[in-house]
Amino acid sequence: MKKVDYFKIIQKYIKPNSLAYRFYIPHVTLVTAKALAAARRINLSKKQLQFIEEAGMLHDIGIIKVKDSSMGCAGKLSYEQHLIEGKKMLEKENLPKHALVCERHTSITKNQIIKNSIDLPPQDYTPQTIEEELIAWADKFYNKVESRLFTERGVKEIRAKYKTYGKEALGMFDAWNKKFGE
């Protein structure tokens, strides 16, 4: 499997000297490192590890298309749209499996979209493979908020947040944490 030059792709869409880049790189690096550490603990293959590294570094690429001045993102879309935009961007890069990670890493369900009027077409955006699950799980531990950019959230904090999303979301996180946590 040929290695994807994810820094080349990131820098194609997010300027290295931008505020967005300064938020993006620490976040995706921390998420990727956590996902890889868990993947090694459960003895995934070298091919799976390579994919997790690449997809982990690219999972939030769509944020550049959203409107969030605090992160330096000057797009026009709502934050939730980064799932769809990231998928489109990586499909254009001929990375269909990586694109699915973009679409599914927040693990939002159709029920949550309808119940909470989330700005996404109503369908399930949930991980379907162990690699997708690992990245989605690791992503829950890190914010893209300046004051907490390098601070890992604790399981208790994550559970409290996901409890507000309903039993389905909390159950998904708990199952992943049991499967991947230390």
User: What does the block give as tokens for 147?
Assistant: 């004051």
Per the domain annotation, does 163 fall within a domain? no
pTM for the whole thing? 0.95
Structural domain of 32: 6-152
Q: How many CA atoms lie within 13 A of 135 on its CB side?
A: 32
Per the domain annotation, does 157 fall within a domain? no
Per the domain annotation, does 165 fall within a domain? no
Per the domain annotation, does 41 fall within a domain? yes
Per the domain annotation, does 130 fall within a domain? yes
Per residue in 135-170, pLDDT tens? 999 999 998 888 888 899 999 999 998 888 878 888
| Rounded Cα–Cα distance for residues 86 and 8 (Å) | 15
- Full 3-state SS string of 44-60: CCHHHHHHHHHHHHHCC
| Rounded Cα–Cα distance for residues 78 and 39 (Å) | 32
Per the domain annotation, does 50 fall within a domain? yes
Per the domain annotation, does 88 fall within a domain? yes
Count of domains forming the chain: 1
Show the low-confidence residues of the chain (pLDDT under 50): none
Residue 147 has what pLDDT?
Answer: 82
State how far the alpha carbon of 159 is from the alpha carbons of 128, 137, 162, 170, 173, in Å: 21, 12, 5, 6, 8
Per the domain annotation, does 62 fall within a domain? yes
